[in-house]
Amino acid sequence: MTNLQLNKEGKLKHFLSIEGLSKESLTEILDTAESFSSMSEQRVKKVPLLRGKTIVILFFENSTRTRTTFELAATRLSADVLTMNISTSATSKGESLLDTIRNLEAMHVDMFVVRHAISGAGHFIAQNAAPHISVINAGDGQHAHPTQAMLDMFTIRQYKHDFKELKVAIIGDILHSRVARSQIQALNTLGTKEVRVIAPKTLLPAHVESLGVKAFNSIEEGLAGVDVIIMLRLQKERMTSALLPTEREYFKCFGLTEKRLKLAKSNAIVMHPGPINRGVEIESCIADGPQSVILQQVGNGIAVRMAIMSLTLQSNIEAL
Amino acid sequence: MTNLQLNKEGKLKHFLSIEGLSKESLTEILDTAESFSSMSEQRVKKVPLLRGKTIVILFFENSTRTRTTFELAATRLSADVLTMNISTSATSKGESLLDTIRNLEAMHVDMFVVRHAISGAGHFIAQNAAPHISVINAGDGQHAHPTQAMLDMFTIRQYKHDFKELKVAIIGDILHSRVARSQIQALNTLGTKEVRVIAPKTLLPAHVESLGVKAFNSIEEGLAGVDVIIMLRLQKERMTSALLPTEREYFKCFGLTEKRLKLAKSNAIVMHPGPINRGVEIESCIADGPQSVILQQVGNGIAVRMAIMSLTLQSNIEAL
Amino acid sequence: MTNLQLNKEGKLKHFLSIEGLSKESLTEILDTAESFSSMSEQRVKKVPLLRGKTIVILFFENSTRTRTTFELAATRLSADVLTMNISTSATSKGESLLDTIRNLEAMHVDMFVVRHAISGAGHFIAQNAAPHISVINAGDGQHAHPTQAMLDMFTIRQYKHDFKELKVAIIGDILHSRVARSQIQALNTLGTKEVRVIAPKTLLPAHVESLGVKAFNSIEEGLAGVDVIIMLRLQKERMTSALLPTEREYFKCFGLTEKRLKLAKSNAIVMHPGPINRGVEIESCIADGPQSVILQQVGNGIAVRMAIMSLTLQSNIEAL
């Protein structure tokens, strides 16, 4: 898995999961994103870095927000964007995933940004794609969502500067969350002092400590003294599957309220990948309050994706 | 409402309704549109005015024609365009309109072009949007469709030059038409001599004269001596709601026929916002005839929208 | 029909069918495509040839692959692309095809790329479009698919250089295939020594020899000694219409197997317009094998469409 993401010179060629990437690789992404971040304030929010490149947004699972940030990131790098919603395309004519990939490759595209309901779909495509193509995982099953994790790391660094003194709590459905999995790996790789996960037992993986976290079933205990609070979105489907009681009950036990927020450090930041379920996992007044950096995360998402797209494609160009 | 559209220097910042705009503001739009209008004949139909700007086409109501003209207008100003059909997007995940707006803002977009079934949706977004963002109303409920009204004014000025000697008749469902409401305001603001509305009583607002128009229930009387005839599209939904008899009956009483057209001035022009219901509100031979300027309106729609987009964004840039 | 495609100077103005075009016209397209073909290998895969031009992809029939290659071709020529999926647009408001065309023309677009289920739709639009507009047929009913045929000719020339010594076999549902019709015309116009069609009798047109081909009902006889094998995609709809037995039966009689492939020349190439039905008309190992040029065809599709788009628009520009 490790080597697949790097080219012979050890440069990022694909971006599929945080697993297997070094602290230096992650830091290079964060540093590059910083240069793009200031660009958003400029009159002309474009650089010609990827002019003449074709980026295919290959979404087998719909997600307006993630798709939009990738499209904007690609456009601001001056790339040409081809968005394919695969449920409505050739695969319905009975074409296999591999045939779809082969055909797009033959059209001389340069990058696939893949979102798929099956864990490992991005790896599969990267293993099978032509050498000149970069693959970015925009979420695969319950496995990983590494660009989300990186924009979260970028946001934490923006507010807290150094990971090595930080206590970070992730709250919600850890068991099913690809976001949480990628966040935990990134936080540990970047040397975070303490990573906590807070969830009911039914929503924690078995042996969760082996991921390098401290587990809490009480939100009050878990929040005590943390610098960063990361809420996860509650997938309402879980309700029906008997893993969770009602929304109200969930909020009562694990929702982030003003009272609970006071248990964290007074300058703690509150994060959420969005879209928010107001009043389910988080109180509205916190989402809109002074400690919330949720909208900052959205903007950072574009800078971080610009960084990942340009780094992977440039290492590919240099290798040629 | 008035001040919301203008910045501190009195320049157009949003474009939400004709109401509250001065004759000078409307004339500035028409003059700017004239400079873009000649551009359509050139080999390269593009100017770099809005390069690096991101324009979000935020349509909660579908309209291929209006959407297309906005997309083309933005593209010809070299802006990047993000089209969001909101019925199929994040709001279906339960996100509120305001959260959608906040998220798009965080992506550093510069303009929202909004179409919504609820009157006042554009105003609501303009009131709540970040200071650097311009909002353009592309049709809100039965309230206003001001860019359509401005392209109509542009077309009238092209053919008739001066408003102050003109008699203009608007024919059709005045009661439910946001187009008519905006046209009446624009015609009066620009000093039109006489604005007439022609409709069955069931399709006229109560106290319609207070809008500054003369009302007619007979098309023959209303058309006598007019310089400009503006047909409205018959919304077939009205049929079922008992406000109207059959299409045939409507055409018999209020359809524009060759015989009726002769009652207007011999050089009167015939306008229609499209799409046309041939043989319902207008005879086919008139729609395609020498007095029709219906297709001219479509082309003017792009120039006028380029003008409104560039004026609002430029006043925003200057204000920064 | 012939003259409609050419302007007064005999230059290609529209591209609607191979019929009526000279060997010189087809060769000019192939030569122009060759210059674009090498471009795909470059870092910046773009030329500014059609900057400021608006190309409307007007698809009344869905086809992800053909649409995508046209979009990429237009983008790589730096044109602005407007994709209209007509089933979801204004025509559903009751607007006629001609009104849709007139409205798009009024928006100062430069080209229509049309795909339609009715034979002759492209011709109809070309006959009725404004003089400055070029029309390209991207497939009309069972009539023609001339850009597919040209990319096939380009691929054959790439591997076999000269048509006049070649034996080419087309295998499959000749009767209903617009691709086959256009291929036969192109092969004959380019002076191919022998064009063969191989199909069960139920899938051959009456008097097929009048098209300039030799007909075979046995795939073994038809493949003997050929240089080029063109497979057609089996339209599964045909199964239900009693023209064909089961898929298995079809494969048994007309599927391309390794054993049958040996009957052709040892350096014969295998072509297919895609998407492939693996195991129905062709064995998987042949599709992926050394004689297959199927993916090469896909890439060539972009170069050939760039050539056709730029040639037709440039002759239009020169004529103005």
Q: Give all domains of chain C, ordered by start, each with its CATH number.
A: 2-144+301-319 (3.40.50.1370), 146-298 (3.40.50.1370)
Q: How far is CA C30 from CA B93, C74, C186, C230, C233, in A?
A: 50, 17, 12, 19, 24
C79-135 pLDDT per residue, tens: 999 999 876 554 445 578 899 999 999 999 999 999 999 999 999 999 999 999 999
What is the DSSP secondary structure assignment for residue C260, as one 8-state letter?
A: H
CB contact under 8 A, B46 and C52: yes
Could you confirm whether C66 is annotated as catalytic? yes
The pLDDT score that the predictor gives to residue C94 is 58
More confident residue, A298 or C93: A298
The pair of three-digit structure tokens given for residue B118, joined into one six-digit string: 């609820």
* Digit-coded pLDDT (tens) for C283-299: 999 999 999 999 999 99
Name the residue with tokens 């496995």. A143
How many CB atoms are closer than 10 A to CB B170? Answer: 27
Q: Which amino acid is at C301?
A: G
For an interface test with A, give the residue of B55, B60, B99, B128 to mutate (most A CBs within 10 A).
Answer: B99
Q: Give the pLDDT score at C303.
A: 97
- Taking CB atoms and an 8 Å limit, are B80 and A68 in contact across chains? no
Across the range A4-23, mean pLDDT stands at 94
Q: Which of A94, A99, A107 minimises the CB distance to C69?
A: A107
Using CB atoms, pick whichever of A88, A107, A317 lies closest to residue C68: A107
Which of A194-198, B263-267, C62-66 is predicted least confidently?
C62-66
Q: What is the pLDDT of residue C1?
A: 44
Touching A (3+ Cβ pairs <8 A), the chains are: B, C
Residue C255 neighbours by CB under 8 Å, 6+ apart: C279, C280, C281, C282, C283
Chains that touch B (3 or more CB pairs under 8 A): A, C
Cα gap A126→A4, rounded to integer Å: 8
% of chain A exceeding 70 in pLDDT:
94
Q: What is the CA radius of gyration of chain B?
A: 19
What's the confidence (pLDDT) of residue B310? 97
pLDDT interval class at C320 (50, 70, 90): low
Look at residue A191 in the predicted model and tell me its pLDDT. Answer: 98
The residue among C170, C173, C176 whose CA lies nearest residue C196 is: C170
Q: Among A237-241, B8-12, B41-45, C18-22, which stretch is predicted with the lowest mean pLDDT?
A: A237-241
What residues of C are in the A interface, CB distance below 8 Å?
40-46, 64-65, 68-69, 71-72, 75-76, 274-278, 295-299, 301-302
Residue A205 preceded by cis peptide, ω within 30: no
Please state, for a pLDDT cut of 70, what percent of chain C lies above it: 94
pLDDT of residue C90: 46
How close B261 gets to chain C, by Cα (Å)? 22
Q: Best interface-test mutation with A: which of C37, C64, C154 has the largest number of A CBs within 10 A?
A: C64
Q: Closest residue of C to B45, CA-based? A: C52
Whether residues A106 and C72 touch (CB distance < 8 A) is answered with no
- Chain C residues touching residue A51 (CB < 8 angstroms): 44, 46
At residue B256, φ and ψ (nearest 5 deg) are -90, 110
Mean pLDDT, rounded, for A236-245: 69
- Confidence at residue C91, expressed as pLDDT on a 0 to 100 scale: 47
Least confident of B163-172, C171-180, C230-239: C230-239
**pLDDT above 90 (res C250):** no
In Å, how far is B118's CA from the nearest CA of chain A? 23
Question: What's the confidence (pLDDT) of residue B39?
Answer: 80
B274, C103: Cβ pair inside 8 Å?
A: yes
Are A95 and C44 in contact (CB < 8 Å)?
Answer: no
Interface test with B, best of C103, C110, C310, C317 (most B CBs within 10 A): C103
Q: What is the pLDDT along chain B (320 residues), one digit of tens a residue?
A: 458 999 988 999 999 999 999 999 999 999 999 999 988 777 778 999 999 999 999 999 888 889 999 999 999 999 999 998 876 554 445 578 899 999 999 999 999 999 999 999 999 999 999 999 999 999 999 999 999 999 999 999 999 999 999 999 999 999 999 999 999 999 999 999 999 999 999 999 999 999 999 999 999 999 999 999 999 998 776 666 667 778 888 889 999 999 999 999 999 999 999 989 888 899 999 999 999 999 999 999 999 999 999 999 988 777 65
Q: Let me know the angle formed at the C-alpha of C222 by C217 and C227, rounded to the nearest 5 degrees.
A: 155
- What is the Cβ-side half-sphere exposure of residue A153, based on CA atoms within 13 angstroms? 35
User: Among A141-145, A295-299, B37-41, C1-5, which is the least confidently predicted range?
Assistant: C1-5
Q: Work out the minimum CA distance from C1 to partner chain B, whole angstroms.
A: 26
Nearest to A72 among B51, B82, B102 (CB): B82
Neighbours of chain C (3+ CB pairs under 8 A): A, B
**Residues of chain B contacting residue A75, judged by C-beta atoms under 8 Å apart:** 54, 80
CB C298 within 8 A of CB C69: yes
Cross-chain Cβ contact A68/B107 below 8 Å: yes
pLDDT recorded at residue C51 = 94
Q: ∠ CA(A186), CA(A187), CA(A192), 5° rounding?
A: 150
Residues of A in contact with B53 (CB under 8 A): 45
- The residue type found at B162 is D
- CA-to-CA distance for C122 and A138, rounded, in angstroms? 40
- Compute CA C87 distance to the chain's CA centroid, rounded to the nearest angstrom: 23
Nearest neighbour of B107 by CB, restricted to A276, A277, A299: A299
Q: Is residue A91 very low, low, confident or very high in pLDDT (cuts 50, 70, 90)?
A: very low
Which is catalytic among the residues C14, C53, C76, C115?
Answer: C115
Query: Which of A36, A44, A64 is most worth mutating to test chain B (most B CB atoms within 10 A of its CB)?
Result: A64
Burial class (CB in 10 A: 0-12, 13-18, 19+), A173: buried
Structure tokens at A123: 């790896």
Please determine, for residue A139, whether its predicted confidence score (pLDDT) is greater than 50.
Answer: yes
Asked if A54's CB is within 8 angstroms of C68's CB, the reply is no
Residue among C247, C175, C268, C253 nearest C221 (CA) = C253
Element (H, E) at B229: strand B228-231
Catalytic residue among C23, C46, C65, C248: C65
Q: Is the pLDDT of residue A92 over 60?
A: no
Pairing outcome for strands B194-198 and A167-171: unpaired
Q: How far apart are the first and last CA of chain C?
A: 22
**Predicted local distance difference test score (pLDDT) of residue A128:** 95
Q: What is the pLDDT of residue A256?
A: 97
> What is residue B62's predicted lDDT score, i.e. its pLDDT?
82
- Give C-chain residues touching A53 at CB under 8 angstroms: 45
Residue type for A183, please?
Q
Whether residue A38 is predicted with pLDDT greater than 90 in this model: the reply is no
Structure confidence at residue C88 (pLDDT): 53
CB C58 within 8 A of CB C122: no
Active site residues of B: 65-66, 93, 115, 145
Residue B90's pLDDT is 46
Considering only the beta carbons, identify the residue of C42, C277, C299 that sits closest to A106.
C299
Distance CA B173, CA B231 (A): 9
Residue A35: CB atoms within 10 Å: 13
User: Smallest CA–CA separation between B2 and chain A, in Å?
Assistant: 28
Q: Which residue of A has its CA nearest to B49?
A: A44
Active site annotation includes C145? yes
Residue B63's pLDDT is 85
Q: Which two tokens stand for residue B158?
A: 């092209």
- Structural contact between residues A42 and A168, judged by C-beta atoms closer than 8 angstroms: no
Instruction: For Cα atoms B223, B225, B226, give the angle at the middle one, nearest 5 degrees.
Output: 65
